[in-house]
Amino acid sequence: MSGFPPEVRSRLEPDAKEIIGRYPRSRSALLPLLHLVQSEEGYVSPDGIEFCAELLDLTSAEVAGVVTFYTMYKRRPSGRYAVGVCTNTLCAVLGGDQIFDTLKGHLGVGNDETTSDGAVTLEQLECNAACDYAPVVMVNWEFFDNQTPETATRLVDDLRAGTPVTPTRGAPVRTFKEVARVLAGFPDGLADEGGSGGPATFVGLEVARERGDTAPEPKKQATASQGSRGSTEGAGYGAAGGPSGSDAPAKTAESDPAADETGASVADGPDQTAKKRATKKGKGG
């Protein structure tokens, strides 16, 4: 049985059963169920793992394997605000590394560590798919674009002081536990709040329009009558519409220099070679 106190268990079970009921197979509910547990504790504790395992008829090892695979699940208590700094290529060269180093010194914590007041957990993130606004900092997965060491420092100071902060795009910043509940599948009604992509997102599209660029016409696809070993001319394979060694069906003789006129290859082995030659002979070859 779960080590959760009875009052916690009675609070979580109705929501957990609602989550499980959304899926034809109960084990498919594991990811949102872990978010539900995280919304209660701020991380996934051993008690939380046992709770999920019990409800889904899984072993604790199976649940723990999922928890340790995904970085969005925390194994120790997280701060009220997870502040993530992207240090992948574009953000890094535009200042992400400097922002991360500045925040480590300013907050007195390292990667995936939490400030002594429990307010901020600092994380080094991989790409957030927001390269058009690099360098990017995220607070509980809401975007703060075009950051500098100075703006990022003010941001974490405001979070620690309880001063409301507004993301560049997206919904108002909520606490880590509140966001975890949304990820479990219980909307907070803020999905339509905040802005979305701005001018930087559409620069490529505008340049293409100015140049008169259009998408190429799709290549003619091979018909079913051509068969899996038929001609691929015009089928759209490869850079020039011709066959590619990795994605186009081809006759054995074309794709295997070691094959003879029957299609048999030294790679086939004696049994396959004899079978192919017998088939060719039977057809009058």
- pLDDT tens for each residue of 5-19: 889 999 999 999 999
Q: What percent of the chain has pLDDT over 90?
A: 59
SS3 sequence of 100-131: HHHHHHHHCCCCCEECCCCCEEEEEECCCCCH
What pLDDT sits at residue 67? 95
pLDDT over threshold 90, residue 80? yes
Residue closest to 48 by CA, chosen among 77, 26, 80, 69? 77
**Residues 6+ away with beta carbon under 8 Å from 4:** 12, 47, 48, 51
At 17-47, the pLDDT tens digits run 999 999 999 999 999 999 999 999 999 999 9
Look up tokens 């995220």; give the residue: 138
- The per-residue pLDDT for 220 is 77
Q: What is the pLDDT of residue 203?
A: 84
Closest C-alpha to 52, from 64, 42, 41, 40: 64
* Domains defined for the chain, CATH in brackets: 6-69 (1.10.10.1590), 81-178+189-199 (3.40.30.10), 219-250 (no CATH), 258-285 (no CATH)
Kindly indicate the confidence band of residue 140, based on its pLDDT and cuts at 50, 70 and 90.
Answer: very high
Residue 114 pLDDT > 90, yes or no?
Answer: yes
Distance CA 32, CA 268 (A): 48
> What's the whole-model pTM score?
0.70
Q: How would you class 99 by CB atoms within 10 Å of its CB: exposed for 0-12, middle for 13-18, buried for 19 or more?
A: buried
pLDDT band at 217 (very low <50, low <70, confident <90, very high): confident
Q: What is the mean pLDDT of the chain?
A: 83
- Quick one: average pLDDT of 89-104? 95
137-139 and 142-144 beta bridge pairing: antiparallel
Bridge partners of 121, per DSSP, are: 82, 114
d(CA 54, CA 35): 16
Contact between 28 and 76 under an 8 Å Cβ cutoff? The reply is no
Mean pLDDT of 213-235: 63
Tell me the pLDDT band of 261, cut-offs 50, 70 and 90.
low
Q: What's residue 273's pLDDT?
A: 53
Residue 9: how many other CB atoms lie within 10 Å: 15
Cα(25)–Cα(18) distance, integer angstroms: 13
In the DSSP assignment, the letter for residue 92 is: I
The two counts, helices (H) then strands (E), for the chain are 11, 5
Of 31-45, 182-196, 261-275, the one with minimum mean pLDDT is: 261-275
- Residue 202 pLDDT exceeds 90: no
Quote the pLDDT of residue 231. 47
